[in-house]
Amino acid sequence: MGPRPDGKLVSLREAISRFVPDGATVVMGTCLESLIPFAAGHEIIRQGRRDLTLVGPISDVLFDQLIGAGCVARVVAAWVGNVSAGLGHAYRRATEQGVPRPVEVQDTSNFAVALALMAGALGVPYLPTRSLLGSDVPRQLEAFRLFEDPWTGEPLLLVRAIQPDVAILAVQRSDPEGNAHLWGNLGVTEEAALASRHVVLLAEEVVDPSVIRSDPNRVLLPGFKVSAVVHCPGGCHPSPVPGYYRRDHAFYEEYHRATRTEEGFREWLRTWVLELPDRQAYLQRLGARWDALRQLQPAPAAPVDYAW
């Protein structure tokens, strides 16, 4: 099925160019270590976006790459680094030395990110929590305020809503209108999708609407909230997509070693992002390694019957 001129099914290049302008607030990496839309991050780098605010819970190395490439002014994330291999070298260079540019960090926690996005999704200005009381994390008043429960007088922390300009989310399959199926751990994906002004989906497969409608309980959010659908197989490598490919643990170790120096980071970026026109070329560069990651143990769910 080819893209219609007025349809949502577009190339990754077009989706990023239309929905991720300079200065945008972008939420990504919402499932945590799986379904990270690396292909979208790489396209953002190729298009030379600047002054982005990145929002996420933990972010694994996608945020590290965007920060190292100079695309980012501000990070609102509970954790930035390399989950299986260590610290994020580009993140450290930016926050400690301002290289390649200074990045402002708003400290937060995973639960606080979830609550901020949930408040955004519910259309309320904040949500209360008992988490982080006494922690130094909520010291930035633009995001957190101490408060008293009006009924009991007990201390509470208010977490301010976040409504990102765009959520870039990976899913297993979507129809051309953005009605999509996502399965596995959901992290903050539903909240991020519902809170954002635009949603860009990266789908491993684009399927007929009847496939999606056969199982509406598995739908991430209704298509009318989605601005663009990109058919992008392999778009999450080196992170895993349940049912499609496993995590490439070695790739994270290699990235960790290669990006220890600024020069090493530049070289890595040239090899895996700047020299490549698109995701197809990236997967070709991975070669046999990519085939190996797709050798899976089948684990189909029992069929669900919506008989009526």
Partner 1 sequence: MVRDVADWSVGELMVVAASREIRDGEVVFVGMRLPLLAYCVAKRLHAPRSVGIFENGIVRDVPTPQLLYTMSDTPNIVGAVWCTRMANVMGLLQRGDVDVGFIGGAQVDRFGNVNSSYIGDPHHPQVKLPGSGGAADIASLAKRLVVILPHGRHRLVQRVDFRTSPGYGDGPGWRQRVGLPRGGPSAIITDRAVFRFDPQTCEAVLHHWHPRQSLQEVVENTGWPVRVADGASPTPEPSAEELRVLREYDPEGVWTGNRNRADR
Which residue in 108, 172, 174, 179 binds partner 1 (CB under 8 A)?
A: 108
**184 interacts with partner 1 by CB under 8 A:** yes
DSSP letter string, 250-279: HHHHHHHHHTSSHHHHHHHHIIIIIT-SSH
**131 interacts with partner 1 by CB under 8 A:** yes
Q: What is the closest distance, in whole angstroms, from the C-beta atom of residue 100 to partner 1 in the complex?
A: 15
Q: Which listed range, 7-15, 199-207, 226-234, 291-299, lies at the site for partner 1 (CB under 8 A)?
A: 291-299
Contact call for residues 68 and 101 (beta carbons, < 8 A):
no
Contact call for residues 91 and 65 (beta carbons, < 8 A):
no
Which residue in 73, 186, 276, 286 binds partner 1 (CB under 8 A)?
A: 186
| Coil, helix or strand at residue 125 | coil
Q: What is the closest distance, in whole angstroms, from the C-beta atom of residue 241 to partner 1 in the complex?
A: 8
**77 interacts with partner 1 by CB under 8 A:** yes
**277 interacts with partner 1 by CB under 8 A:** no
Q: Rounded CA gap, 269 and 169, in Å? A: 22
The pair of structure tokens assigned to 274 is 């700047």
Which residue in 47, 185, 214, 271 binds partner 1 (CB under 8 A)?
A: 185
Between 16 and 182, CB nearer to partner 1: 182
**Ramachandran bin of 175, using left for φ above 0, alpha for ψ from -120 to 50, beta for the remaining angles:** beta
Q: Which of 142, 112, 107, 105 is nearest to 129 (CA)?
A: 112
**91 interacts with partner 1 by CB under 8 A:** yes
| Coil, helix or strand at residue 75 | strand
**297 interacts with partner 1 by CB under 8 A:** yes
Contact call for residues 199 and 166 (beta carbons, < 8 A):
yes
**Residues interacting with partner 1, by CB under 8 A?**
31-34, 57-58, 60, 77-81, 83-84, 86-88, 91-92, 95-96, 105, 107-112, 114-115, 118, 129-137, 154-156, 183-191, 239-240, 242, 246-247, 249, 296-297, 299
